[in-house]
Amino acid sequence: MATDFSSSELEAFLDESLPVERMTAIEEALRLDGALQKQLTAINGRRDAGVHSLGDVWRRHRLSCPSREQLGSYLLGVLARDAADYISFHVNTIECRCCAASIADLAAQQSAAEADVTSRRQKYFRSSVGHLRKK
- Would you say 12 or 96 has its CB closer to Zn ion? 96
CB hemisphere CA count around 70 (13 angstroms)? 17
d(CA 75, CA 28): 48
Under the binding rule (CB under 5 A), the answer on residue 96 touching Zn ion is yes
Under the binding rule (CB under 5 A), the answer on residue 65 touching Zn ion is yes
Given the rule CB under 5 A, which of 15-23, 33-41, 57-65, 123-131 is the region that contacts Zn ion? 57-65
- Is the separation of the CB atoms in 66 and 90 below 8 Å? yes
- Is the separation of the CB atoms in 133 and 97 below 8 Å? no
Q: How far is the CB of 98 from Zn ion (least distance, A)?
A: 5
Query: Considering only residues 12, 99, 103, 106, which one is a binding residue for Zn ion as defined by CB under 5 A?
Result: 99
Which residues would be at the binding site for Zn ion (CB under 5 A)?
A: 65, 96, 98-99
